[in-house]
A and B are shown apart, each in its own frame.
Chain A
């Protein structure tokens, strides 16, 4: 576990890998049952700098900053959990997002998802996330 001394982490925390960003999800991405992805507009480097400067609020293995909660690995690596600009996706929606990122919101994407029987609800959720993620909310 990363220790915090006077509000500052004892080792420099590092930003989440780009695999966690909305636009980097593809059909090759390995989904979990529960996934959190990051909207492109989130100032993750700013969050990480603020946390390293002692402005985050640590609870157990998580740290909060700017209405976002990050998980912390013992190595100092951060990953997204929840909050403003982070979005939760179940396996189906995460999978659908991979198709849309790879093929666009196109007939081809829909055909590929028909083949895999990706549900209408999963597709709608992925499209909703893509549309929401295009603007700073």
Chain B
């Protein structure tokens, strides 16, 4: 029951944040809407016993990534008004039609389809799905250690690439 309440409140928060990302004219408001969505989703992670992932979500996403976004928004400047008219012909109509098709399909699937999409699922949550640091570390450093090292390499390359891009100057300038 408590989880249902958390789901409704935080799901509404996540959806409201997502909508405000799309409709806000000022990019700063978009970033704040994204922050609301990220925090709501982090609470939903906790409700599903993914404790470590929720903590990483708050620290890395809401902390680091969003700060970076705000830095770049301030650097680029928020005063320029975005053009609201559409230059591509029929693009808005096609997007609306696409959204309608997806909504009808998903609603039909959930109302009339067989929702037994994971036959092995049980309602009991055991110790093994409790995503504590210890529980996540065990598969991470045994089964997925190669992927872990590869992401470490990727992060190093990304940091070096970002510095190279930011450092780049045109020679004649």
A and B associate: no
